[in-house]
Amino acid sequence: MRDTDLLTVGEVARRAGLATSAVRYYETAGLLASTRTAGGQRRYERQVLRRLAFVRAAQNVGLSLDEIRAALDTLPRGRPPNKADWARLSAQWKARLDEQIEGLIKLRDGLTSCIGCGCLSLRNCALNNPGDGVAVLGPGARYLPGALRRPVRPG
């Protein structure tokens, strides 16, 4: 492949609608590969644009970069993902999306019982204490923001 067939990080970023830092990050995360010039500058094959489109679509589905990398690792090396690849991989994600949709519907429907309260420590709070499973820890709010929804134990 000739050097003129390769894209700079700036060209990739511009064509993909990303910041150059995002392109470099995706490469560090193992989602993209580049070659280096004699001067150490990154160069990308044009097919990286298709991979970036795949990454962005998978992120829109809600996949983590680890999950996207695992999916890309199932593809043959040396060619961009195609329609058949996307169909096969996205079929695996359908059940996940269905679960997310079901969870969001439950969340939406549960909001009507909590709007206006704000205490987050209702005896039977459908949002933060389904089935009152944290009552054994005592009264008051037991979930803190950013605590990954794990109860805070007293003492």
Q: What is the pLDDT of residues 80-139, one digit of tens each?
A: 788 898 888 888 888 888 888 888 887 787 666 655 555 555 555 555 555 566 666 766
- How many angstroms separate the CA atoms of 118 and 134, rounded? 17
- How many angstroms separate the CA atoms of 100 and 131, rounded? 20
* Stretch among 4-8, 9-13, 58-62, 142-146 having the lowest mean pLDDT: 142-146
Domains present along the chain, CATH in parentheses: 3-111 (1.10.1660.10), 118-155 (no CATH)
Q: What is the side-by-side order of every strand in the sheet holding 6-7?
A: 6-7, 42-45, 35-36
pLDDT band of 24, cuts 50, 70, 90: very high
Q: What is the pTM of this model?
A: 0.64
CA 32 to chain centre: 16
The answer to whether residues 55 and 68 touch, using CB atoms and an 8 Å cutoff, is yes
- Average pLDDT, stretch 35-42? 92
The confidence score (pLDDT) of residue 155 equals: 46
Smallest CA-to-CA distance from 4 within 50, 52, 45 is with 45
The confidence score (pLDDT) of residue 25 equals: 96
The H or E element that residue 56 is part of is helix 48-61
The H or E element that residue 7 is part of is strand 6-7
The answer to whether residues 11 and 3 touch, using CB atoms and an 8 Å cutoff, is no
Using a pLDDT cut of 90, give the percent of the chain over it: 34
Is the per-residue pLDDT at 149 higher than 50? no
